[in-house]
Amino acid sequence: MAGRKSAKLSPKSIARANRQRLAAEEGARAMADIERQATAVRKNMERLRALRRARDEEAPGMDTVLLPEVKTRRKKGLPK
């Protein structure tokens, strides 16, 4: 009858059950926090995207500003 469990729980099993319960609660809180942060990021991205679209509609063609051409120098080395 070594396979039978006693009706009384040991202090170790009670402590383990409490740790598991606390870990599950903390995990649920962490997942909810991560979801809130992700929602805030998506909301901010949408706001910034709307601002960028509004800016681009006001001044079309400003995104293709021409920069002065930069002369490149050839490295001094062996003559060709």
**How far apart are alpha carbons 70 and 39 in whole angstroms?**
44
Report yes or no on 2 lying in a domain. no
pLDDT at 10: 92
pLDDT (tens, 9 = 90+) of the chain, 80 residues, equals 456 666 788 999 999 999 999 999 999 999 999 999 999 999 999 999 999 999 988 886 665 566 677 777 777 776 65
Given CA atoms 4, 10, 14, 15 in this order, what sign does their dihedral have?
A: negative
Report yes or no on 72 lying in a domain. no
Report yes or no on 76 lying in a domain. no
Q: Which two tokens stand for residue 18?
A: 């409490």
Task: State how many domains the chain has.
Answer: 1
